[in-house]
Structure 1
Amino acid sequence: MKLSEALAVSVLLSVVASNAHATTYNLPENGHDNVITQFQDDVPLTRVEQNETLLDVARRFSLGQTEIVRLNPELDRWHIKKNEIVRLANKRILPDTPREGITLNIAEYRLYYYPPVQAGAAPQVISYAHGIGRQDWKTPLGKTHIVRKVKDPAWHPPESIRREHAANGDPLPAIVAPGPHNPLGAYMLHLAVPGGYLIHGTDIDKIYGIGMQITHGCVRMYPEDIEELYRSVPVGTPVHIVKQPIKVGWLDNVFYIEAHPDLEGEETTLEQRVAMALGLIQKANNQAVPEFDPEVLRRALKALDGNPVALFERAPPLPELPKGAARKIGLTEGEG
């Protein structure tokens, strides 16, 4: 029995409908927790309503190509049959950055946007899939901000890119006018990074490159996602660009670890990943390494499937006693 069939039998009632576009999460009620959850079921599934590609499903749920293929390794990404069951993402650990503006974690091909909290509303984070720079055109890391927003931008390809295309027999004009074949798409956010790095949409020919290392260093998003982000973020919004392939975090006194594969051109050993994970665990646990099953950790760091794995659970804190209660039960200073 295929994995998709087994999951369909065991979690049949958890099949979810398409939500389209970005994924919005309520932040955990405990401000120190940093694991977010989209669906109640640990293994959310969707049933395909017509013959299509796995990448069509990915776009409906704002998942990138790498992520949805990793979640469904037994499926043919180019041919998903009607009524076939596709596994979706659910839990995510927030990157270790301030909860402000935009965070781009290039290691997982995802953007996290923290909108201003509205009066009386729960704080939220909105997450989108994106593509990043190729091995030879890396997306830069660091803190920056949005300096300019442009709708229907023209593309002025740098000379280095024009030379590359010419060498491949695909010469580019000096200016690519706005339109469906413009690689910048319909919306562009200009970052304060030397070299002209952008967060932008995509042309109709490269939509399925979202969630891959495919750009010349810019961050590329689905057309509907960049439009939504463009309308939401003002000039001056801070942007944190990080590379965190291993993330750890708490949710309701359960500690999770999430691990992603190396980017192209990078290679870490299992032992290096274990050392990195132990450092993160210690940092998140008051500089102490708690007792846990090391084999669970090693399996997560071998699988590298991006799914948060529960590593251990701590006892919940004791409820605070009302004033005067300590004296009544004989726990005043000097007693006990």
Structure 2
Amino acid sequence: MKVRSLFAFSILLSAISGTANATTYSLPENSNDSVITEFTDDVPLMRAEQSETLPDVARRFLLGQTEIVRLNPEVDRWHVKKDEIVRLANKRILPDTPHEGITLNIAEYRMYYYPPTQKGTAPQVMSYAHGIGRQDWKTPLGKTSIVRKVKDPSWHPPESIRREHAANGDPLPAVVPPGPHNPLGAYKMHLAVPGGYLIHGTDIDKIYGIGMQITHGCVRMYPEDIEALYHSVPVGTSVYMVKQPIKVGWLDNTLYIEAHPDLEGEETTLDQKLDVALKLIQKANIARDGVYAAGQSETGTAQNMPEFDREALKQALTVLDGNPVALYQRLL
């Protein structure tokens, strides 16, 4: 793993404060590629400058708690010692959705926003960590849109949530006014989904729950992230809510796979994951072959599976750390 070059860079990034915004990526120059990269190092690392927790690191680098824990299975979640090395996220494979509006991939607790491309600028995508619905309050799937936006909202807890809190000895008022302890945070955006589902901020008491399966079905974001998104997207913006724990994509003629664990309450076997992955690999290869069939030379037919690294595939589907793994490189 490459440690040397990011240490100086991590000192700069560690200064990120509560005013930081989303991680912004340039989309690949090749429109058929779908892997985005933040750092030049394949495995970016940082050295802890003080004793802290993995959620502290996640907060500073705008990652989710589940994500940072998966990337650092050997690090104590609640005690990162001074000078200990922490692995950060780098490459991501874009979900298989249109590159427009917002995509929520609940399987990875992450949102992708494709802002309109300005004339003379390269297309970009902004990525945000977010929390999703618990096993018994699942976040819905499907295409929807933002229908209303509200700044400094009051929270009117639904009767079902009030009953749940009362049963746990934590009764809720009928209305929670705006402020630092409002669970909706400072901004909320209504989705055109029956049941009152929202994209919203968080209160100071639950800020470390971003990137976890913890909400009553809504999508919860870091305060600075929801603020940036709120001011960026207009009412009517399309929202694609998908569950893609396994993603496959190309970058510079290299095929990658990214695999995430099952959500709580769900369980798929390694064989089931392998079946999904093989279909995605074949789909990606057929799409790539179509490009070559349009005029470039490439050996084989669209129906052939590439001779990819099957051990790397099995490892990715076993470790499930969300880190894209290279499976195959085309020879031009």
For the residue of structure 2 that corresponds to 1:283, the secondary structure is helix
2-structure distance, mates of 1:81, 1:295 = 34
More off after superposition, 159-168 vs 286-295: 286-295
**Aligned position for 1:294:** 310
More off after superposition, 178-187 vs 293-302: 293-302
**Aligned position for 1:85:** 85
CA contact under 8 A between 2:255 and 2:328: conserved in structure 1? yes
Q: Normalising by structure 2, report the TM-score.
A: 0.91
CA contact under 8 A between 2:156 and 2:174: conserved in structure 1? yes
Q: Tell me, yes or no, if structure 1 residue 66 matches structure 2 residue 86.
A: no
- Consecutive unaligned residues of structure 2, counting only runs of 5 or more, are 287-302
Q: CA shift at 1:35, angstroms?
A: 0.2
For the residue of structure 2 that corresponds to 1:189, the secondary structure is strand
Q: CA shift at 1:61, angstroms?
A: 1.2
**Aligned position for 2:148:** 148
Q: CA shift at 1:200, angstroms?
A: 0.4
CA contact under 8 A between 1:22 and 1:61: conserved in structure 2? no
**Aligned position for 2:103:** 103
For the residue of structure 1 that corresponds to 2:107, the secondary structure is coil
Show the 5 A alignment for 1:147-166: 147-166=147-166
Larger Rg: 1
**Aligned position for 2:321:** 305
Q: Tell me, yes or no, if structure 1 residue 12 matches structure 2 residue 1.
A: no
Q: Tell me, yes or no, if structure 1 residue 183 matches structure 2 residue 175.
A: no
**Aligned position for 1:128:** 128
**Aligned position for 2:297:** none
Corresponding letter in the other structure for 2:315: R
Q: Tell me, yes or no, if structure 1 residue 113 matches structure 2 residue 113.
A: yes
1-structure distance, mates of 2:246, 2:68 = 18
Q: CA shift at 1:53, angstroms?
A: 1.5
Show the 5 A alignment for 1:1-336: 10-15=2-7, 16-17=9-10, 18=13, 20-286=20-286, 287-316=303-332
Q: CA shift at 1:47, angstroms?
A: 2.3
Q: What RMSD over aligned residues (CA atoms) do the two structures have, in Å?
A: 1.1
Corresponding letter in the other structure for 2:308: F
Q: Normalising by structure 1, report the TM-score.
A: 0.90
2-structure distance, mates of 1:82, 1:260 = 29
Q: CA shift at 1:246, angstroms?
A: 0.2
Q: CA shift at 1:294, angstroms?
A: 1.8
1-structure distance, mates of 2:64, 2:267 = 22
2-structure distance, mates of 1:283, 1:121 = 31
CA contact under 8 A between 2:5 and 2:41: conserved in structure 1? no
2-structure distance, mates of 1:295, 1:46 = 28
Q: CA shift at 1:184, angstroms?
A: 0.3
CA contact under 8 A between 2:53 and 2:80: conserved in structure 1? yes
**Aligned position for 2:291:** none
CA contact under 8 A between 1:21 and 1:59: conserved in structure 2? no
For the residue of structure 2 that corresponds to 1:276, the secondary structure is helix
Deviation string 1:17-65 (CA, Å, 9 cap, x unpaired) is: 3154311000000000000000000111122222221111101111000
For the residue of structure 2 that corresponds to 1:128, the secondary structure is strand
